[in-house]
Chain A
């Protein structure tokens, strides 16, 4: 009986392996040849692309900016996503479905359209700038394009829908009965959050936060459009190195650095899951 099911597994596994291994192997291998520009590469294996990356302050600064905007964006996303997830998880009426529909639609619509909307909102004569100027809060039009703040906002739009779905699955693991129990024993609502909901959700926040951080690290579209060529992140740099400078090996080495950092974060979150799970078992 068991063998029959394993037979189902073999064809898709071969296809997937071929795609994963084939594509990843080729570009990783390319990254170890010296880049001679215009798509030409040297013939000897060398680490020169990586040496360039880790000694050039431009690349290191880009790397740092990528980490910084991703960290900020994931923190803000969790902050905005948590109340929605909590409300949807606890709500009993049909309204929850409507709230959920809003989230799902926003995960479906391509990020390019959302960035387009952001560009309109933040344009010099757009809604936000004129309102703020009328209120006297700012004295000249503020643009987010080409700034790190702009990229953070873009990354938040890229991840928030997913983060709500993720946090929802965290909140539903905390049964409402625990909240009632705490309150029957005299805890205030504030104390329920402080001592019941937040502690029980923290493992989910940590793991979810790392996943969102990962998404941000690899996010291309929003970072490219809102960075406007003035602020670069690693994914944007990969695309520009290929399309504008036609340096395939250099781009491959940057992509590999990105890939390795993302995999490292994944490993950390995997270890975090294990740790937090075992810690919880001890308490129980």
Chain B
């Protein structure tokens, strides 16, 4: 049993950690509600709460948000196309050099994103030199980069689920007369679906939040939301970005609730961060 002294220490320690962890997001959301004069625009706690900045979000930021959402969604889908067969093939088979193959699939995680960013930029320039196909600053170019950084997250979670998979389920399906494709679609895929969902969520969020890779692959008029925000913070900005940032935080909360409903947070915990890296 824990003593009360210990409980108090843990409570204070945890409380401090949570204040540290959550305060920036709370402050951004709070400050976005500030309704006072333009000159004192960024203020926390807000004075005369209003939604004035939410009505003044410029089109440019919505376009950036739209691009980020599209890129993240398509990149997640493509990452699944790579990660699901890769994880199935790797967990189920046994061959020499399995360790090396695993390392290759996880490699993008070990490479700092900024290194991948400059690497893809130079890769695209090389392709351009040889075929006059310009990928930098285009949707396909952006997608390739995002698939690269997002896939290992999906791969990691699906491998974690597959390792706990009960093989007898497949054997049962087989002995009841299901063919190998039917077993795959009716038994295997549905059982690993929680892994696909939580891995997909991680992949989506990694892509949706990325700056270091995207910053090299953007072009004027073709900017993802985090990069747009990055440039705004580096130069100068007006409080409408507080409003759009708050919308993004709310979006993340909604995604979280969705996961809790669909697969439960525990799945995320078991298969998420720890095993992905």
Contact = CB atoms under 8 A, between A and B. Distances in A.
Nearest to A117: B24
A118 B28 CA distance: 9
Contact of A83 (B10, B215, B275): B10
A130 to B, nearest CB: 11
Question: Which secondary structure characterizes the binding site on chain B?
Answer: helix
Contact of B83 (A12, A27, A110, A183): A12
B252 A217 contact: no
Contacts of B216: 239, 242
A115 B269 contact: no
Which of A99, A107, A116, A217 has the most chain B CB atoms closer than 10 A to its own CB?
A: A116
Given A107-B205, A242-B216, A218 B22 contact: no
Q: Most chain-B Cβ atoms within 10 A of its Cβ — which of A22, A87, A104, A242?
A: A104
Interface string B16-35: 11101111111110010000
A225 B226 CA distance: 12
B101 A109 contact: no
Given A22-B123, A23-B148, A258 B245 contact: no
B17 A84 contact: yes
Interface string A98-114: 01111111111111111
B24 A101 contact: no
Contacts of B173: none
A252 B121 CA distance: 11
A127 to B, nearest CB: 6
A263 B94 contact: no
A218 B118 contact: no
Interface stretch (A50-58, A136-144, A154-162, A274-282): A154-162
A211 B277 contact: yes
Nearest to B17: A80
Contacts of B210: 110
Given A13-B104, A100-B265, A255-B115, A116 B245 contact: yes
A99 B253 CA distance: 13
Interface string A114-132: 1111111101001100000
A101 to B, nearest CB: 6
A127 B255 CA distance: 30
Given A5-B89, A252-B122, A220 B212 contact: yes
A109 B120 contact: no
B110 A263 contact: yes
B131 interface: no
B240 to A, nearest CB: 13
B255 A112 contact: no
A150 to B, nearest CB: 13
A218 B208 contact: no
* Chain B interface size range: 35 or more
Contacts of A9: 85-86, 89-90, 93, 101
Given A5-B93, A108-B205, A220-B211, A84 B180 contact: no
B112 A112 contact: no
Contact of A120 (B44, B208, B260): B44
Contacts of B90: 9
Closest 8 CB pairs of A and B: A117-B24, A218-B112, A9-B89, A165-B273, A110-B209, A8-B89, A5-B92, A12-B86
Given A127-B44, A162-B277, A165-B269, 9 more contacts: A16-B151, A27-B122, A97-B260, A109-B249, A114-B25, A117-B24, A117-B27, A217-B112, A225-B233
Interface of B: 1-3, 5-6, 10, 13-14, 16-18, 20-28, 31, 42, 44-45, 82-83, 85-86, 88-90, 92-95, 101, 104-105, 107-108, 110-123, 126, 144, 147-148, 151, 180, 205, 208-212, 215-216, 225-226, 229-230, 233-234, 241-242, 245, 248-249, 252-253, 255-256, 260, 265, 268-269, 272-275, 277
